[in-house]
Amino acid sequence: MSSFIQTGDTGARELAHGRRGRLHLYLGYAAGVGKTYRMLEDAQQISRQGKDIVIGYFEPHGRKDTMARTAGLEMVPTRSSTHGGAVFQEMDTDAILRRRPAICVVDELAHTNVPGSPRAKRWEDVQVLLDAGIDVMTNMNIQHLESLNDHIFRITGIRVRETVPDWFIKSASEVIMVDATTGALMNRLKRGVIYAPEKAERALENFFKESTLAALRELALRQTAHELESREAEPGAARGEENPANASLLRRDRILIFLTDSPSTTMLIRRGRRMADYLDADCFAVWVSAHKRTADSRKVQDAIEKHLNFARNLHIETRVLEGDNVAEQIMDFAHRNQITQILAARPKIRPWDHLRSTDPVLQIVQVATDVRVIVVADRRKRF
């Protein structure tokens, strides 16, 4: 059986909701650790207590033991969607809203809905349920956390396309890590408990390498510990228990992410979001628009708009400044907004170029005497 770690102030068997629903997240590090099984066990316990609970979506994956845990629980029918000549079953959010249960169980939070659906992602459907005052029990694996996307790629060589923004996970009232040793998980895979034989063979070539599983498990444990620590820290801060005498030493970090049109900026935004979460810091994504337009300005503007939208989706404040001297504008903003750290992507220059380069990143490094500048390399995995 899987062990589990709880964070938050409310147990899975003590769900209740006020005007807005509460999110209860079951977190794992790979398929087969028992997230859905544990979630359904808790749902059965809640049902036995006489509470109004339904299953909004369930993906059986052919796992008989897990399927058995749905027995006796009301299931809201899914809706059929056609795409590319095939029919898909998706969660019917409108039907759940009409049924209006107290609690809804939703499997596979990171799922991407079929094109043409009212919302692109299942987590957005869950947000609708929460806004309607419905408590939601759901699950996902650590590799679907947006800020870890680049790190997961370096570990596995696989770019995870289905992600959930960190701010959404932070909104959870409770995070429960459902854990199993890597040895137990490999044994389940080989016994055919997780996937059919042909799919299991493919899994062994990808996520289910023992070294990869160990790294993913460590990430999941760290994330759960971080969620617990951040929740424990909040009550003291709310009561103003900080020592005024040490206030200057406890100055809040403020991070500035320096945006460029480079594709590596996406990596930088994820890194900044994760740093901000761990430091409990304010975070800004800043682009300096030059007055002098160039021939490729349309291409640059399209790239920047994409980066700005990505930052906004991760709940990072964005700013667009104007001026031809980029380093000067960035440092002026940093001083006015009490920025403590600047994140910039490493520029592509030759070793001797720093002596005469007009690259904005090098200029920022040269003039930022009172702000820490972190130049981040885009460490893409090579094969």
CATH 3.40.50.620 domain span(s) along the chain: 246-376
Mean pLDDT throughout 279-299? 80
Reported CATH class of domain 246-376: alpha beta
HEC string of the chain? Answer: CCEEEEEECCCCCCCCCCCCCCEEEEEECCCCCCHHHHHHHHHHHHHHCCCCEEEEECCCCCCHHHHHCCCCCEECCCEEEEECCEEEEECCHHHHHHHCCCEEEECCCCCECCCCCCCCEHHHHHHHHHHCCCEEEEEEEHHHEHHHHHHHHHHHCCCCCCCECHHHHHCCCEEEEEECCHHHHHHHHHCCCCCCHHHHHHHHHCCCCHHHHHHHHHHHHHHHHHHHHHHHHHHHHHCCCCCHHHCCCCCCCEEEEECCCCCHHHHHHHHHHHHHHHHCCEEEEEEEECCCCCCCHHHHHHHHHHHHHHHHHCCCEEEEEECCCHHHHHHHHHHHCCCCEEEEECCCCCHHHHHCCCCHHHHHHHHCCCCEEEEECCCCCCC
Mean pLDDT throughout 210-224? 90
CATH 3.40.50.300 domain span(s) along the chain: 3-233
For residue 168, pLDDT over 60 is answered with yes
Say which residue, 316 or 192, is predicted with more confidence: 316
For residue 237, pLDDT over 90 is answered with no
> pLDDT digits over 18-49, tens only?
479 999 999 999 999 999 999 999 999 999 99
Reported CATH class of domain 3-233: alpha beta
